[in-house]
């Protein structure tokens, strides 16, 4: 495909595909040197009738300008007042692209990538440009084949085969592209205690930690006394009489608690409760299941470092425990991603849960699938790491695929038999391919 001067993009609710396409062309000097202008076609906000995607267009422009300062005056917006009306779409495109004095020049070469936006938008913007072939004979049309990570030209076939190697986006950039912000949280080091969990898993002894009949971790002792099922956030919310009288931690639980940083220990070496209100929330969250997030992140970092040790930079970004919110949300409204992998620009979100039954795991599954699609697009992938046995794990995977409209390629459920280091890494690594 020949270089082009004007790139036209359709902006939908997820601007990531637009970023990927544009970034690829801007990385390739053949296209970059010829490109003069980028046209962002977006829906206009019409109260009670149509949501606007102007914010997504501005976020995309901001990120591209940040990455490519020379693009300063290269962007033009095209508002569509009615994305369900063919005539309205064609008129808006014609007026801005072809009729306006600031529109396309006669010697331009137009490239429309119609991946984003609605099907109606794509169809009629395509028609509007295609009809102008007499005055603007150099026209190219392409789409992003997200499943195969390719850009495909309508007439010339595949332009690039593996975009995950060509285009990279950092998680911070991905979040900003969608108008979110990351809530800064305190980084806690429970590595010594995580190492004990790792040994238990490797020795097939993790069930002893949850053996409530023999002093294992019992969540019911750490729930709010007036709200069963809801984990307490402070010492004052506990039924202390019940806890002191009945919870007698076994040696495994004691060893883990003693390996935690001193100020986070809820019990002394004899097993007596000593937790303080200041650090209680973080301590109990760790014991309740956050250790699994730390363990999964640790395994992935260790194994990927080994896999890519010959390369200067790892092609995979690994992050843990990120809390995210929109600036206009209520301050208590947020969502959390336990572990995040980004391979190039491809997002894989991992949710970790120690919940003992399928229904609770399913709730976590719904959330991680929704959130990964929200910021990573339809081809983002979701992993749910659980303690479920094989049969329940397989049932959960099938239910999530049916209930979310997903497919086996984009959803992975791991159970108690999959969490040893080598197995865990192999399952996730294979899933990312």
- Same domain for 234 and 365: no
pLDDT band at 313 (very low <50, low <70, confident <90, very high): low
Dist. CA 386–CA 194, nearest whole Å: 17
- Same domain for 219 and 195: yes
Among 288, 305, 331, the domain-final residue is 288
Contacts (Cβ under 8 Å, ≥6 apart) of 86: 120, 123, 124, 127
Least confident of 54-58, 98-102, 180-184, 299-303: 98-102
Longest Cα–Cα distance in the chain: 87
- Same domain for 345 and 278: no
- Same domain for 307 and 273: no
pLDDT band at 167 (very low <50, low <70, confident <90, very high): very high
For residue 120, is pLDDT > 80? yes
pLDDT band at 77 (very low <50, low <70, confident <90, very high): very high
Dist. CA 354–CA 161, nearest whole Å: 39
Long-range contacts (CB closer than 8 Å, 24 or more residues apart) made by 280-284: 280/232, 280/233, 280/234, 280/235, 281/233, 281/234, 282/186, 282/188, 284/222, 284/231, 284/232
Least confident of 266-270, 277-281, 385-389: 266-270
Task: Give me the sign of the Cα torsion angle 98, 99, 102, 106.
Answer: positive
Residue 183: the pLDDT is: 86
Nearest to 2 by CA among 149, 86, 111: 111
Q: What is the pLDDT of residues 241-278, one digit of tens each?
A: 888 888 888 999 999 999 999 888 888 777 778 877 78
30 in a structural domain: yes
Among 288, 320, 344, the domain-final residue is 288
Percent of the chain surpassing pLDDT 70: 98
For residue 309, is pLDDT > 70? no
Percent of the chain surpassing pLDDT 90: 66
Among 256, 288, 320, the domain-final residue is 288
Cα-Cα-Cα-Cα torsion 231, 237, 242, 248, nearest 10 degrees, comes to 60
18: containing domain: 6-166
Which tops the pLDDT comparison, 102 or 428? 428
Dist. CA 6–CA 65, nearest whole Å: 16
For residue 73, is pLDDT > 70? yes
For residue 312, is pLDDT > 70? no
Dist. CA 279–CA 190, nearest whole Å: 13
pTM of the model: 0.91
- Same domain for 195 and 162: no
For residue 122, is pLDDT > 90? yes
What is residue 355's DSSP assignment? -
- Same domain for 114 and 21: yes
184 in a structural domain: no
Residue 228: the pLDDT is: 82
Over residues 19-39, the mean pLDDT reads 93
- Same domain for 396 and 279: no
For residue 184, is pLDDT > 90? no
CATH code of 133's domain:
3.40.50.10770
């Amino acid at each position: 495909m020949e270089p082009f001067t004007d790139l036209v993009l359709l902006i939908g609710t997820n601007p990531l595909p637009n970023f990927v396409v544009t970034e690829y062309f801007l990385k390739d000097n053949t296209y970059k040197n010829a490109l003069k202008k980028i046209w962002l076609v977006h829906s206009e906000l019409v109260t009670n009738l149509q949501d606007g995607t102007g914010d997504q267009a501005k976020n995309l422009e901001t990120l591209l300008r940040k990455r490519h300062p020379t693009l300063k005056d290269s962007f033009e917006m095209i508002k569509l007042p009615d994305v369900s009306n063919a005539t309205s779409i064609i008129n808006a495109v014609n007026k801005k692209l072809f009729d306006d004095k600031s529109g396309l020049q006669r010697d331009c070469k137009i490239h429309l990538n119609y991946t984003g936006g609605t099907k109606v938008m794509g169809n009629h913007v395509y028609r509007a440009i295609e009809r102008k072939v007499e005055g603007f004979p150099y026209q190219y049309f392409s789409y992003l084949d997200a499943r195969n990570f390719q850009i495909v030209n309508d007439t010339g076939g595949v332009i690039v085969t593996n975009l995950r190697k060509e285009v990279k986006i950092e998680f911070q950039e991905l979040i900003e592209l969608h108008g979110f912000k990351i809530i800064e949280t305190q980084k806690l080091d429970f590595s010594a205690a995580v190492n004990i969990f790792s040994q238990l898993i490797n020795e097939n002894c993790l069930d002893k930690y949850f053996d409530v009949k023999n002093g294992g971790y019992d969540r019911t002792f750490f729930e709010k006394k007036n709200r069963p099922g809801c984990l307490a956030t402070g010492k004052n919310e506990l039924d202390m009489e019940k806890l002191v009288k009945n919870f007698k931690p076994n040696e495994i639980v004691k060893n883990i608690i003693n390996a935690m940083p001193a100020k986070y220990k809820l019990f002394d070496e004899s097993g007596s409760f000593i937790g303080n209100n200041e650090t209680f929330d973080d301590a109990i969250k760790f014991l309740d299941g956050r250790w699994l997030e730390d363990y999964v992140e640790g395994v992935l970092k260790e194994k990927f470092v080994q896999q890519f040790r010959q390369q200067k930079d790892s092609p995979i970004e690994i992050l843990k425990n990120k809390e995210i919110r929109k600036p206009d949300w209520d301050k208590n409204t947020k969502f959390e991603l336990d572990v995040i992998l980004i391979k190039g620009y491809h997002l894989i979100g991992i949710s970790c849960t120690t919940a003992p039954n399928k229904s609770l795991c399913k709730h976590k599954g719904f959330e991680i699938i929704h959130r990964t699609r929200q910021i990573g697009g339809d081809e983002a992938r979701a992993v749910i790491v659980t303690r479920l046995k094989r049969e329940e794990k397989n049932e959960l995977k099938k239910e999530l695929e049916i209930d979310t409209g997903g497919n086996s390629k984009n959803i992975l459920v791991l159970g108690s038999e999959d969490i040893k280091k080598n197995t865990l890494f192999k399952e996730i690594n294979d899933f990312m391919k």
